[in-house]
A and B are shown apart, each in its own frame.
Chain A
Amino acid sequence: MDEMSAFTWMITLPLLASPVVYLAGRISRRRNWDVGMISHWLAFWALAATWIPFALAASDLDKNGPDTFQVGQIALRLDDIGLLLAGLSLGLGTLVVLYSGPYISPDHGREKYHSLLVAMVGVMMGLGCAHDLFNLWVWFEAMAISSFLLVAFYHEQAASLEAGVKYVVQSAVGSALVLMGIALVLAQTGTLDLDKIRLAADDSNMLLAAGALFVIGFGVKTAMVPMHTWLPDAHSQAPSGISAMLSGVVIEAGLIALLRSLSALAGVTPTWGELLMAFGVLNMTVGNLMALRQTQVKRLLAYSSLSHVGYMLLGLGIALYAQDASGAQGSFFHMLNHGLMKGLAFLAAGAFLYALHVASGDHSPLLISDLSGAAKSYPMMALGLSLAVLSLGGLPPFAGFMSKWQIFAAGFETHNGWIQALVIFAALNSVLSLAYYAPLVNTLYRQSASPLVQHGHPLSIWICIPVMILTASVIAVGIWPGLFNWLSDPAGSALLAAFGLGG
């Protein structure tokens, strides 16, 4: 066993902190100590402390290249893609923990929520570092398990239970399919290490079947249409902080797991790029069309996640098809931006849900019409939600425009008529998405406030701070689009290298 290095501490720290958070919260409640927020603050400081090994690991990766940690046959390796996922999950995770303190009331089991959330962040950082097919599955399953309980967190509500049941059943089928795929790969190549599989892989039908199983199995978690039906329910019924994590990080973690498994099978068929583009177009179209007819804010945002996964898949497909890293760099940039924008949108929508419904013990969904005139009473939240949806819709000069532009530009550079047509289709989709984002902004800034808004509860400062940070960063990335290039550009090149395509 090797020495523990910075990146293994980055993964271990949240995983060690998770049971501590639970026990501390539980004991303080049992003894009736007057420290109601102890699990919240412990969780926050655990994630804040994780930034130190993260920064060390990032600078180490920059200087010395990928670092490997070996336990027996199993290797964990931090490469640029892993660092991207770690940065995304740690960044959004820290803000969500801060936000969730006042949002989750103590009688709902605050300590369970925080300990699972911290564990989920740690597990996702581990998922990015897995360098072995089976190890990847284990992290993937651990991520699924920690998110199951968080989705069905309001376990006295029939709607939350329904979302939880759908999510558990679909994820479990997906992971069984992935296991079958792993068995096929093991039988055919005799190894599970991603690099060794790529060297041993030939164009056999067994491995093609394994690839199809990976696409379907990991596609459930990535919410690729038609494996997406759990997503709108889970995202709209989970507590809002969890909706932000699910939409901003968990589906992207599924996407990275899919890319890792396909990169091992790169030699089996040259058409993975086309396949990803096809799913991308499906996702965009279905996501946008379904979002158009939603009346609930969180459900609308959930369907918009589908279409944004579509843009990422399109960029990745273009990169694999054209063997050029720029599409993948655009996609990873969009992944980071989507984390910020969707995180902001769900946290701001969650703040409204809290102020208008949850704080008075009401678990009905937040309708778009409930928000009528809300900007008067909650100017900060209204600004955050409006900026988030305008940025999601791809209006310049916000973050979403910059990354979509990079993906579309990469598509045009291929000089392939079909891909250019796809890119134009994607751009039209992006315009179409404004048809459901714009009315939301319009409703927020109406003159007369709805009775619900007039009787709304005030918001805690801890809910406002994460929303303000995210608002500022969405604007900042729009003005300085190069802000995250140090994360997204190397990740794009690393992906191409993993597929064995120059880079």
Chain B
Amino acid sequence: MSTLTILAGGALALFAVGLYGLLITRNMIKVVVALQILVKAALLALVVAGKASDQINLGQSLAMTVIVADTVVAVIGLALAVQVKRVLGTMDLTELSKLRG
């Protein structure tokens, strides 16, 4: 099995871990962590795709850009977490499901 196949499989596995984490966790911080794992899987996939198409520089520069954008999203997620804790006094997202229908 080539290194690239293993890495691509790793990206898929990471993605699955992130999705699983999102589905089972109800804690706001853990949700942000799970989102980060999802995006890390996508980063790995981008670099692997760059290598597979013989443009490793392109793949890496895409990954750099994603890191920037993704950090901003993480910061917003954490800022919301702080505010949720302040307003509701808890990090539990089950408390945060009043809007329905």
* Residue in B41, B55, B62, B80 whose CB lies within 8 Å of A190: B55
- Decide yes or no: A182 and B99 within 8 Å by CB, A164-B80, A172-B38, A190-B54 being known contacts: no
Q: How many residues of A contact B (CB 8 A)?
A: 41
A180 to B84 CA separation, bound complex (whole angstroms): 30
A464 at the interface (CB under 8 A from B): no
> A293 in the interface, Cβ–Cβ < 8 Å?
yes
Query: Does A176 contact B49, Cβ atoms closer than 8 Å?
Result: no
Q: Select which of B22, B49, B96 is within 8 A of A184 by beta carbon.
A: B49
A383: Cβ under 8 A from any B Cβ: no
| Docked pose: A134 CA to B60 CA in angstroms | 13
B76, A179: Cβ atoms closer than 8 Å: no
A192 to B48, CA, bound (A): 15
Of the residues B48, B72, B96, contact of A158 by C-beta under 8 Å: B96
Is the Cβ of B46 less than 8 Å from the Cβ of A163? no
Judge whether A138 and B69 touch: CB under 8 Å. Answer: yes
Known contacts A138-B69, A159-B98, A164-B80; is A186 also within 8 Å of B59 by CB? Answer: yes
User: Is A183 touching B97 in the complex (CB atoms < 8 A)?
Assistant: no
Determine if A161 is an interface residue (Cβ-Cβ < 8 Å). Answer: yes
- Render B59-95 as a binary contact track against A, CB cut-off 8 A, 1 for contact: 1001001100100110011001001100110000100
**A214–chain B nearest beta-carbon distance, Å:** 13
Find residues 24-53 in chain B having any chain A CB closer than 8 Å to their own CB.
28, 31, 35, 38-39, 41-43, 45-46, 48-50, 52-53
A145-B73, A164-B80 known; A179 vs B96 contact (CB < 8 Å): no
**Contacting chain B: which of A37-45, A59-67, A148-156?**
A148-156
Q: Mark A353-386, 1 if CB is under 8 A from B, else 0.
A: 0000000000000000000000000000000000
Tell me whether A180 and B93 are in contact in the complex, defined as CB-CB below 8 angstroms, given that A159-B99, A168-B76 are known contacts: no
Would B88 and A158 count as touching, CB distance under 8 A? yes
A138 nearest CB across to chain B (Å): 6
Task: Report the separation of the CA atoms of residues A165 and B35 in the bound assembly, to the nearest whole angstrom.
Answer: 12
Q: Is the CB of A161 within 8 A of B62?
A: no
Asked if A142 is an interface residue, CB under 8 A from chain B, the answer is yes
B46 contacts A161, C-beta separation under 8 Å: no
**A18 interface residue per 8 A CB criterion:** no
User: Is the CB–CB distance between A233 and B99 below 8 Å?
Assistant: yes
Which of A141, A142, A187 counts the most B-chain CB atoms under 10 A from its CB? A187
Q: Does A173 contact B (CB under 8 A)?
A: yes
A180 near B15: Cβ-Cβ < 8 Å: yes
**Chain B residues with CB under 8 A of A237:** 99
Nearest CB of chain B from residue A320's CB, rounded to whole Å: 27
**Smallest CB separation, B99 vs chain A (Å):** 5
Question: What's the nearest-Cβ distance from chain A to residue B7, in Å?
Answer: 11
Question: Could you tell me if B80 and A152 are in contact, using CB atoms closer than 8 angstroms?
Answer: yes
Cβ of B39 and Cβ of A161 under 8 Å apart?
A: no
Is A162 in the interface zone, CB < 8 Å from B?
A: yes
**A1 contacts chain B at the CB level, 8 A cutoff:** no
Q: Which of B42, B55, B83 contacts A176 (CB 8 A)?
A: B42
A190 / chain B contacts, CB cutoff of 8 Å:
53-55
For A233, give the chain B residue with the smallest CB separation.
B99
Within 8 A of B (CB), among A176-215: 176, 179-180, 182-184, 186-187, 189-190, 192
- Residue in chain A with minimal CB distance to B50: A186
Asked if A183 and B42 sit within 8 Å, CB to CB, the answer is yes
Interfacial chain B residues near A183, Cβ < 8 Å: 11, 42, 45-46, 48-49
Is residue A169 contacting chain B, with contact meaning CB distance below 8 A?
yes
Docked-complex contact A179 and B87, CB < 8 angstroms: no
CB neighbours (8 Å) of B31 from chain A are: 165, 169
- Contacting pair A168 B73 (CB below 8 A): yes
- How far is the CB of B19 from the nearest CB of chain A, in Å? 8
CA distance A303 to B80 in the complex (A): 25
The answer to whether A176 and B101 touch (CB under 8 A), given A142-B69, A169-B31, A183-B45, is: no
- Residues in A with CB closer than 8 Å to B41 are 176, 180
Binding site for B on A (CB under 8 A): 134, 138, 141-142, 144-145, 148-149, 152, 155-159, 161-165, 168-169, 172-173, 176, 179-180, 182-184, 186-187, 189-190, 192, 232-233, 236-237, 290, 293-294
Q: B residues near A, CB below 8 A?
A: 11, 15, 18-19, 22, 28, 31, 35, 38-39, 41-43, 45-46, 48-50, 52-55, 58-59, 62, 65-66, 69, 72-73, 76-77, 80, 83-84, 87-88, 93, 96-99, 101
Enumerate 12 A-B pairs (CB-CB under 8 Å) in ascending A order: A134-B65, A141-B69, A141-B73, A156-B87, A157-B87, A158-B98, A161-B83, A165-B31, A169-B35, A176-B18, A182-B49, A233-B99
